[in-house]
Amino acid sequence: MTHFARFAAIDWSGAKGRRHKGIAIAMAEAGSAAPRLVRPDHVWSRSEVLDWLVAEAKKAPTLFGFDFSFAPPIAERGEYLPGEADVPSTARAFWAYVDRHCDDEDLGAASFLEQTHRRHFYFGIADGVKAQFMHFRRCDARLNAQGGRKTASAYDAIGAAQVAKASFSGMRLLHRLDGKVTIWPMDPLPQQGSAVVEIYTRIYLRRAGMTGTKLRSKVDLNRALKGLGSKPVRLPFEPNDHQTDALVTAAGMRALAASEPRAFAPEGLTPDLARAEGWTFGIL
C-alpha cells in the first residue's frame, strides 16, 4: 500500500524558550516491530528537530508526522485573519508570512499571536465569548462529526489543550522544510522518498480500541500498540504522555498507511483545500 520504510511521529511544542521537554520523537520501521524513541533522554529544540528531519529524510523513505495544524481554517470564512490586509490565502504563502512576522527564538511564534495579530486569538475571558473564536478546518469538522472530539481550534491560545502556539511555530518549521521534503497534502504524495504529514494522536488511540485519553504507563501503551498490530515496547522507565503519544502515533501511522486505501485520498479533500487548509493524516 505504501513505499515508506519508516514512520516517525513528532510530539511537538509551541512553548517559549530554546529547549522543550514537551517534544518527543518515535520511529517505527515497516512491519510490526515495536516503535522506538529517538534520543529519549534529550531535551529537543525545534531547530534540532528540523535538522534531524532533513537528515533522516535522506537516509530512507520516511513518513514524518507532526501534531500541529498545518494551516488555520480558511474555507469557513474565506480568510485566515479576516479584516487584515496583505495576508496570503494559501498555506505555503501563509507559512512565509508567519515566519516573516516572527523573531521569537527557536522557531517560536508567540509574538504572532500575542502582539502582531492579537485580536484573532482567544487568551481568556477578557477577549469575550470563546465560541466566537472557535473556527475549524473542513477536516476538523469532519472528525468532530465522526465523534473524534478534535475540539481545539488554531485560534484557541489558552489552556493545556490549546494548539495555537504549537501550530504557528510549526508553520515556521514548514516554511523551512518547503522544497526539501514533500509536505502532504500541499504537495502531491511522492512515488519515492520521504514526506511530512499532520497527525492527531487520538485517531490512533481510538483505532487501537482505547478511549482516546492520554497514556502514562507501559501497560496501557502496550495495550494500544497491540491494538495497532505492533509488538510491545520494552522501556527501562515509565514513559510520559509525550513519549506515549509519539510511540502510539508512529505505530498507528504505519498501520494506517499499510492497510487503508483512503489514507492519502480521504473523502472531501479537494485540490483547493489541500493548498489552503491541508488535512490531518488519518481522517478518512
**What does the pLDDT look like over 49-80, one tens digit per residue?**
999 999 999 999 999 999 999 999 999 999 99
Residue 28 CA to residue 284 CA, distance in Å, equals: 22
Query: What are the two backbone dihedrals, phi and then psi, of residue 204, each rounded to the nearest 5 degrees?
Result: -80, -30
Residue 133 CA to residue 114 CA, distance in Å, equals: 15
DSSP string, 234-261: --SS---HHHHHHHHHHHHHHHHHHH-T
pLDDT digits (tens, 9 = 90+) for 212-238: 788 989 999 999 999 999 999 999 999
Predicted pLDDT at 30: 97
SS3 call for 48: helix
User: Are the C-beta atoms of 63 and 194 separated by less than 8 Å?
Assistant: yes
User: Are the C-beta atoms of 231 and 35 separated by less than 8 Å?
Assistant: no
pTM of the full predicted structure? 0.96
pLDDT digits (tens, 9 = 90+) for 174-204: 999 999 999 999 999 999 999 999 999 999 9
SS3 call for 28: strand
**Count of beta carbons in the 10 Å neighbourhood of residue 268:** 12
pLDDT digits (tens, 9 = 90+) for 81-133: 999 999 999 999 999 999 999 999 999 999 999 999 999 999 999 999 999 99
Q: How far is CA 206 from the centre of its chain?
A: 17
